[in-house]
Structure 1
Amino acid sequence: MKNLLGVMQGRLLPKFNGRYQAHPVGYWQDEFPIAKSLGLDCIEFILDYNDYEINPLMSEVGIQELTKIVNETGIKVVSICADYFMEAPLHSNDSKVVANSQKVLSLLLKNAKEIGVNDIVIPCVDQSSLRSESDKKSFFENLLPLVKEAEDLDIHLSLETDLGPKDFLHVVKMFNSKSVTVNYDIGNSASLGFDPKEEFEAYGNYITDIHIKDRKLNAGSVELGTGNAEFNKVLSLIQKINYTGPFIMQAYRDDEGLEIFKRQLSWVRNVFTVGGLI
């Protein structure tokens, strides 16, 4: 069975409030028919910190609307990028922030189950990086109660970090749970200068969600195939782990979004189809 190919929410639409990546409040529905016309399988929904209360993922009415558009278009939502936790990390020093983030994640898990989500990506990068042993300890203690909920609902909490392979594996193993897995971002790893072979040897079997992106070393996103990501090497490593999760295009975007996406979609179909991955 081939893997689902999808897009990070908003990449097929004009930028929301000029932001590079955000849930498109008020016009998110427009993306589903566009995704269908491009032959995609899914959209990775975003839960932002800003206006999170009005995100359809946060209410029963929103879930009903989302279910309706998924059924009408056939474009699934099997994963969520919970950028909320970049602004309100579970290892925050503020106990009120932590308590609210735990409530948000608990509600997100319950609602995600209703629409058939398999992965909720928890980003621990940039301002939410796990910079110290103390951060890791707090993150573990504060996420642990939600891990049990995720296990009961059979949903992965897919961690995205900027840690090196061994440190990342250590964090995942702390939880000792089938529900704590890895989001692998091809471009971010290239930007950090990590060796894909070392990464896959460490935590390849834990990967349940993959972001397709290209970046230059120590720099930002660029069009796919023009950065430092070693796609051929990464794809051969993915084949070896019998990966069954989605491939989500989180590729470089401009203000308009659609034309540059189409160009990169052709690139992905050429490269990934050869390996029989999509």
Structure 2
Amino acid sequence: MKSSPTIQAVAIALFVVLSPLAFAGDPPATKPFRIGTCDWSIKMPLSADSFYFAKETRLMGIQYSFGKPGVGLDLRTRENRDTIREVVRTTDVAIASLGIGILNQIPLATTEEAEQLVSDCMDAMIKMNEEASQLTDRELAAKVSPKIVLLAFFGKADINGNPERMEAVIKTLKRLAPVAEEHGLILGLETLLDETDLRYIIESVGSPAVKVYYDTGNSARMGYDIYAEIQSLGCESICEVHIKENDELLGDGTIDFSRIKSLLRAMQYPGWLIIEGSAPKKTSRTEATQKNAAYALGLFHP
């Protein structure tokens, strides 16, 4: 029996609605990954210099630091946000995400100052997103409206093997997460924890605003199966990825980044890959990052 024109029209409409990738160009699995670096890895934190460095090395984004009030181009102030926005316009290098590395010295588990730092950072991100929404250049707006902030748990802030500190962090995140969730922000946890402990924290907080900031070098150093963890955690739990090797350049160490690329492709990871560290002894961070950028761009963004 032949279908009527009406039935055919309905079927076509349903196909369009139910197949979002059908007319959206290349699916995520075939698009090149976006590659950036941390401003602290190249020793250019809280400055415009990191964006110009990224442009020279063909990187597409900077993970920008958030620190104490008044230090560097502090994003708490409108003037500094305007400056960074203009730098992004000039260099065409995006703000991939933010990172609060100072939490390593001011632990989230034990200090009220740390919680205030995260609150301040979220407030700055909310303002950046509001200001970006006023731009007529939508491509620029996307590059100056970061949604992810890395929360660091190393040194004094390490919670690995410390259940009491883990519980304290969970309580703090429960207070912070509602604001992040309301404004579409993500709190990314970079820790030395394994997948089991990370899942425990995420499930205990119970908010989609809390995810894992996965670092290949940290997990490899701890002896975790990074390939199994990445595959298991997936896009549901991983918000962003540090591609890092321990005391070696990317591609010169033990981590199989081609395999990581395949895993990220399979799970259709849509986020940034951020180069951190990966500097052999007697090699400057800037020189190492230049070499790491060439490697990462060749592998992940050919």
Q: Give the TM-score taking structure 2 as reference length.
A: 0.76
- Give the one of 54, 66, 77 matched to 2:84: 66
- Give the one of 30, 46, 49 matched to 2:49: 30
Larger radius of gyration: 2
The match for 2:17 is none
Structure 1 vs Structure 2: percent identity of aligned residues? 21
- The 2-side partners of 1:267 and 1:41 are apart by 14
The match for 1:238 is 264
Structure 2 portions without partners, runs of 5+: 1-30, 129-143
The answer as to whether partners of 1:7 and 1:250 remain within 8 angstroms in 2 is yes
Q: Give the TM-score taking structure 1 as reference length.
A: 0.82
Correspondence list, 1:106-185, <5 A: 106-113=119-126, 114=128, 115-130=144-159, 131-185=161-215
The answer as to whether partners of 1:196 and 1:233 remain within 8 angstroms in 2 is no
* Structure 1 residue 249 corresponds to structure 2 residue 275: yes
- The 2-side partners of 1:81 and 1:255 are apart by 24
- The 2-side partners of 1:148 and 1:228 are apart by 39
Letter in 2 for 1:47: F
The alpha-carbon distance between structure 1 residues 90 and 260, as it changes in their structure 2 partners (threshold 3 A), is: closer
The match for 2:254 is 228
Deviates more, 1:200-209 or 1:170-179: 200-209
Aligned partner of residue 45 in structure 1, secondary structure = strand
- The 2-side partners of 1:197 and 1:247 are apart by 16
Correspondence list, 1:188-207, <5 A: 188-204=218-234, 205-207=236-238
The match for 1:79 is 97
- Give the one of 89, 106, 126 matched to 2:107: 89
The alpha-carbon distance between structure 1 residues 39 and 178, as it changes in their structure 2 partners (threshold 3 A), is: same
Deviation at 1:39, TM superposition (A): 2.1
Structure 1 portions without partners, runs of 5+: 17-22, 216-220
**What do you get for the CA RMSD once the two structures are aligned?**
2.1
The match for 2:287 is 259
Aligned partner of residue 242 in structure 2, secondary structure = strand
Aligned partner of residue 190 in structure 2, secondary structure = strand
- The 2-side partners of 1:2 and 1:225 are apart by 18
* Structure 1 residue 187 corresponds to structure 2 residue 200: no
The alpha-carbon distance between structure 1 residues 54 and 258, as it changes in their structure 2 partners (threshold 3 A), is: closer
Aligned partner of residue 80 in structure 1, secondary structure = strand
String of CA shifts for 1:119-143, please: whole Å, max 9, x gaps: 1011123321213221111101112
- The 2-side partners of 1:103 and 1:10 are apart by 21
The answer as to whether partners of 1:166 and 1:202 remain within 8 angstroms in 2 is no
Deviation at 1:10, TM superposition (A): 4.2
The answer as to whether partners of 1:172 and 1:180 remain within 8 angstroms in 2 is yes
Runs of 4+ in 1 over 4 A off after TM superposition: none
Letter in 1 for 2:49: D
The match for 1:19 is none
The answer as to whether partners of 2:34 and 2:301 remain within 8 angstroms in 1 is no
String of CA shifts for 1:46-102, please: whole Å, max 9, x gaps: 224xx543242232222122122112222111311111211111211xxxx32x222
The answer as to whether partners of 1:214 and 1:252 remain within 8 angstroms in 2 is yes
- The 1-side partners of 2:41 and 2:106 are apart by 24
String of CA shifts for 1:210-263, please: whole Å, max 9, x gaps: 111101xxxxx3211222223233222212221111111113246744333222
Letter in 1 for 2:148: D
Deviation at 1:198, TM superposition (A): 3.0
Letter in 2 for 1:260: A
